[in-house]
Structure 1
Amino acid sequence: MPRFAANLTMMFNENDFLDRFAIAAHAGFKAVEYLFPYDFPAETVAETLANAGLEQALFNLPAGDWGKGERGLAALPERRTEFRQSVKTAVGYGRAIGTPLLHMMAGIARHDDKAAMATYRDAVAFTADAVGEAGIGLVIEPINGRDMPGYFLNDFERAADLIMDLGHANLKLQFDIYHRQVMHGDVLTALETMMPLIGHVQIASVPKRHEPGTGELDDFRIFEHLDALGYRGYVGCEYRPRGETVAGLTWMKRL
């Protein structure tokens, strides 16, 4: 059975963010992930994580002004200076919290824009080096255009090609099963072919992005497939509960 990490940005929203750690641990999770920790001092997050007896799976680099619709800075040429400063911020938090992985969002830009392409490639290489010096891995994630219109990195093959081309040992693919199904389908085969590149997996049902087992895919067969392929990382539960979070965790009892 895979190991699961609760996504505290999407789950346990009935409670304040820092309270979600202990609640997730009580619900049976051994690790957590979330989008951003930057509203709180890194030491506070680290202490809260430790007090709950949890491991950190990953979190994101700063992604610009989220409230205004920004979804990353890495592919935006005019934001290069700000982006590089955000990498320093993320590394500082990463060291303090003890995360093994950071996810870098690309931003809203045309994927065929040459300036955006060059900027993004440079940003991935720069960040992989910077976080690697801190002993941290970097993941990039293709995101579907239905949930995030205009997102620059919107294709799994393009992401895989970039990872292989750059060849950084600590640069991996974040394979979100929900996004994969919405964009391309063929989840099981893609997991097989891309497993050597995968650094983190996330799950949500398709099409509503609710709990596993509530959509069109056989999520439990996917879990078995991950085991068979030898995946040993965490599976991030990046889903929106249909109702109260704890009440919706009955899917875990099937495993």
Structure 2
Amino acid sequence: MPRFAANLTLLYTEHPFLDRAAAAARDGFEAVECQFPYEHPAAGFAARLADSGLPLVLMNAPPGDWAGGERGLAALPGRESEFRLSIDEAIAYAQAVRCPRVHVMAGRLPAGSERAALQPTFVENLAWAARQAAGSGIELLIEPINLRDMPGYFLNRQDHAHEIVELVSAPNLKVQMDLYHCQVVEGDVAMKLRRYLPTGRVGHLQIAGVPERQEPDVGELNAPYLFGVIDGLGYQGWVGCEYRPRGGTSAGLGWRPGR
């Protein structure tokens, strides 16, 4: 059975953020992940994680001006200084909360720009970030995200993400494969798993139902079948549960194997 990590940004929102890891532990989760924890001092968050007994296995680097519509900086020419500061902040926070993986968001295409023109910036920034993180033991991840949920996002396809990882050629840069985004953009999810998990370039998986991004037992993906594929391929990493519950989080966990 895959190992599941509760996403504290989308799950347990009936609780204050710092109480969510304890709620996940009560429901039998083995780990947690989150998007942007920076409004909470790292020491306090680390203490609450320790109290819950659950490790934080993934978080995001700062994305720029989220409220203003920004969704990352890594592929944006002219923002290199801000990008480097965001990576330094992410590494310091991740070390303080003992989080081994940081998702680095690419960003949206600026008006009038072409994706191909941004790729050199993305590759160069990721290479710098990978070097910066190497001494910390932190793994960096890039994630293809669908254009329905995030219009204009630079990175959308699994093959493109793997091309970028190969171009950067850093052992601590991998792909975050969200099966929800993969289904929305490309479909053929089981075959994508069979193609990419054996490469060793996938550092983290995530799940949600398609198309509403609710529990994975609702919609067009066959979650039990995909869990079997993941197990059969020998994947030892985490599967993040990054979905929006239809109701209370705990009440909606009937999809999880063994519940």
Q: For residue 34 of structure 2, what is the amino acid of its counterpart?
A: Y
Equivalent position of 1:251 in the other structure? 255
Matched, 1:216 2:220: yes
CA deviations on 1:22-74 (whole Å, 9 max, x unpaired) are 11111111110010110011111111111100011110000012112110011
Question: Structure 2: how far apart are the matches of 1:183 and 1:123?
Answer: 25
If the length of structure 2 is used for normalisation, what is the TM-score? Answer: 0.95
Equivalent position of 1:89 in the other structure? 89
Question: Structure 1: how far apart are the matches of 2:135 and 2:257?
Answer: 40
> Which consecutive unaligned segments of at least 5 residues does structure 2 have?
none
Q: For residue 57 of structure 2, what is the amino acid of its counterpart?
A: A
> Which consecutive unaligned segments of at least 5 residues does structure 1 have?
none
Question: Structure 2: how far apart are the matches of 1:206 and 1:254?
Answer: 22
CA deviations on 1:165-217 (whole Å, 9 max, x unpaired) are 22111111101000000000111111111112110000001111110111111
| Between 218-227 and 109-118, the greater mean CA deviation after superposition | 109-118
Equivalent position of 1:98 in the other structure? 98
Identity %: 50
Matched, 1:33 2:37: no
Equivalent position of 1:235 in the other structure? 239
Q: For residue 171 of structure 2, what is the amino acid of its counterpart?
A: A
| Between 116-125 and 223-232, the greater mean CA deviation after superposition | 116-125
Equivalent position of 2:192 in the other structure? 190
Question: Structure 1: how far apart are the matches of 2:49 and 2:86?
Answer: 22
Question: Structure 2: how far apart are the matches of 1:254 and 1:91?
Answer: 35
Question: Structure 1: how far apart are the matches of 2:2 and 2:29?
Answer: 12
Question: Structure 2: how far apart are the matches of 1:162 and 1:116?
Answer: 12
* TM-superposed deviation, 1:131: 1.3
Matched, 1:74 2:74: yes
| Between 245-254 and 210-219, the greater mean CA deviation after superposition | 245-254
Q: For residue 218 of structure 1, what is the amino acid of its counterpart?
A: N
* TM-superposed deviation, 1:124: 1.0
Equivalent position of 1:206 in the other structure? 210
Secondary structure of 2:78's aligned partner: helix
* TM-superposed deviation, 1:146: 0.3
Question: Structure 2: how far apart are the matches of 1:55 and 1:147?
Answer: 28
Question: Structure 2: how far apart are the matches of 1:104 and 1:38?
Answer: 15
